[in-house]
Amino acid sequence: MEPRWAQTGRDGPDDDERGQQRPPPSLFLQLPSNATLRFRGSVARAWEAALEEGEPPGPPQERDGEETGEQESVPLKQLPLCMAEKRRLRLQEQQAAWKRSRWEQWQVGTRRMWGQVGGTLLYAQVWRGSLHHIEGHFGTGIQSYFNFLRFLVLLNLGGALLTVGFVVAPNAAFEGLQLNQTQKGPNSTVISSCLQYDPTKRGLVSYFTYFMDLLSGTGFMELTHLFYGYYQNSAVHFVGFSYNIPLAYLLSVLGYFSVCLLWIVRRAVHLLKRSLVSENGALNTYSNKVFAGWDFCLGPGTAAHMKHNSLRYELRMDLEEQTLRRLMAQRSPGQRLGLYGLRGAVNLLVLALLGVAFYCVYLATEYSQHSQNSGLGQQGLVVGLLVAYLPSIVITAANQLVPLVFGLLVRLERYPLSLEIRLTLLRTVFLRLSSLLVLLFSLWSQITCNGDPDADSCRTCRYDHKQHPCWETSVGREMYKLLVFDLLVVLLVLLLVEFPRKLLVTHGPALLARLWGQQEFLVPPNVLDLVYGQTVCWVGAAFSPLLPLLNTAKFVLLFYLKKLTLFSNCRPADRTFRASSSSFFFLLVLLLGLAIAWVPLLYSVFVLQPSQACGPFRGELTMWGTLSAAIDTLPHVAREFLQFVGSLAFAVPLFLLLCILMFYLMALAHSYSRLVKELKGQLRLEGRDKVFLVTQITELS
């Protein structure tokens, strides 16, 4: 039996000029994509007219010009062409070079120069060879962790250069050169008892005391460039120029936070675009995994076997999720009500666990601060370290133990596997970042007497001077201890857990090896550890200017330690994330940590009164008063301009303009989303066209 298009084609010309048979134009009108004019419109008529003329629609000269323009904007080595075609294009470029004007030749030369500079910078990337080595053995999922770690190293290095270049180095240079400094004295209304601050030890000091001060940030460490209390409220005059140390301190801290925000947002937007393209499962989810899911950067042997297991796991996870959704759709109302009740009970239990963990952190902070002030921490090395690091120990224990309980409870809620993993991660993120907030709240309640300046302890100095004579240094000291303890935990886990486990699994009994198994390198928990450590650095950066530099050194050491344990002790996890979606999710968590760090910074700058006995802002009502005083010393025109920028006359029109811009972008995004939906519909119709054409070819054969 002949197909319909073959029967209808007998009424028209059967042969062309070469005598070969071709299908009539009515075949294209039978395509499923032409069944709906909503997508195609008059495209079908254009194709029919073009077929009658014997050439595709559209002027070929214009298409060639467009392709040539696109190829000129892309380097020749990046074009997906064979070598013969690239040689032909190179010859055409050389022949057409003499026809170009000088402006065009300059543009081509500039483009090539920037391409060569980009290629050179590509080879100058930090840890480029190590990252390729990790990708070749373990794939892009684990490589995303080390990419994220490299990004944090560069982020902290930029912040360290900013704070060291504008605060630490100038202050050290002024002291070494003994330049003329003009110090601002305390206000006449300040009581003399609020000016007392001397953390140095008197008399004979033992080695144990120096060791305790080094680990806990007390004693002589408080009078170093590491902490806020060391810097003076002074201005240095030399060669007709005045360097205001308090102003430089404030602007460098605000600049560091702003650079971090812009850098993270830029990277997050870039990764969001990639994740929207690669993680869209609306079209051909299974075929993408089967035909386009292989990682060709992998080396042979174990890495390829692990990638096979990863693809099998992803397909199994998709099938399990579809099965679970089908079962959920088949549940009766009573079964759904019972499941919702079970999930509600599990969420209440999760909240109870979080509440217990936060209360333990609060009690540990209260006890540690009270014991250090009462002298209990000086009774011995072990007792002193336990008292000093008690909040860090409790926070680390909560971060390690509570997520294990979350992993057991989430299985009772019967969510799809991907949602189960993300929900556990969100709860873990909330625990880690909220524990820092609880620690900061505990310190705030001690410093401000629970926000009551008329309390007995805060009535004299407007803050608890007896317990925290330099409260900024106290906050920076707690963040310093968290950073040191986090690094110590990584070293102890590596030496006492991971290496012994590798030895037991490799050389121990076979039963133990089967039960315990080789350790998995879990990317999400490791990245959350990085986010937690970076948030600690941000919180303490305003009160410890060298903390970004210490965090940079910590992350560099962590890179080599994690690389060592990855190749020596670990294997990739069975449950993997795609690099694009996980990287964007981790940057969102990092933005959340940065938002949490902005809270104590802005509160300290605009609301809380600085310490009267230490720091570059002594004698000021707020830290922001230093910037206001600096603006008053500017010329009249600059002062009026800055005051206008900070007034409502500028803020209200700017807010309205931003609202209009936001609504415009929302409308543009809505139109783009509709266009994307139409393009997806066209892709589905194109797929049906292929099936239709294959059916016709099968009937002909």
Which residue, chain included where needed, has tokens 């000029």?
17
Choice between 203 and 655, residue whose per-residue pLDDT is larger: 655
| Range in 241-255, 303-317, 584-598 the model is least confident about | 303-317
Q: Give the Cα separation of 229 and 476 in Å (integer).
A: 10
Going by pLDDT thresholds of 50, 70 and 90, the confidence category of residue 24 is: very low
Residue 506 pLDDT greater than 70, yes or no: yes
Indicate whether 322 pLDDT > 90: no
Helix H or strand E encompassing 521: strand 519-521
Output the six-digit token pair for 409: 């409870």
Helical residues (DSSP H) of 542-621, grouped into ranges: 547-569, 579-606
**So what's the pLDDT on residue 501?**
82
Q: Which residue has the higher pLDDT, 195 or 652?
A: 652
pLDDT single digits (tens) 600-609: 999 999 888 8
pLDDT at 3 over 60: no
> Which among 145, 187, 311, 174 is positioned nearest to 232, based on CA atoms?
174
Q: Look at residue 47 and give its three-state secondary structure.
A: helix
Q: Which of 486, 490, 470, 485 is nearest to 386 (CA)?
A: 485
- Residue 109 identity (one-letter amino acid): G
Note the pLDDT of residue 257.
94
The single-letter code of the amino acid at 203 is G
Alpha-carbon distance values, 7 to 12, 23, 24, 105 (Å): 10, 10, 10, 58
Confidence class of residue 63 from pLDDT cuts 50, 70 and 90?
A: very low
Phi, psi of 237 (to 5 degrees): -110, 125
Length of the chain: 701
Distance CA(332)–CA(221), nearest Å, equals 66
In percent, the amount of the chain with pLDDT more than 70 equals 75
Residue-wise pLDDT for 454-488, tens only, equals 787 788 888 888 888 888 898 998 899 999 988 99
Q: What's this model's pTM, rounded to 2 decimal places?
A: 0.77
Give the residue carrying structure tokens 């820092």.
436
Task: Pick the range with the lowest mean pLDDT from 219-233, 293-307, 401-415.
Answer: 293-307
Q: Look at residue 18 and tell me whether its pLDDT is greater than 50.
A: no
Structure tokens belonging to residue 158: 């930029």
| Percent share of the chain, pLDDT over 90 | 13
| 200 — pLDDT class (breaks 50, 70, 90) | confident
pLDDT band at 303 (very low <50, low <70, confident <90, very high): low
Q: What is the pLDDT of residues 557-571, one digit of tens each?
A: 999 999 998 888 887
Paired tokens of 152: 């944090």
Cβ atoms of 350 and 409 closer than 8 Å: yes
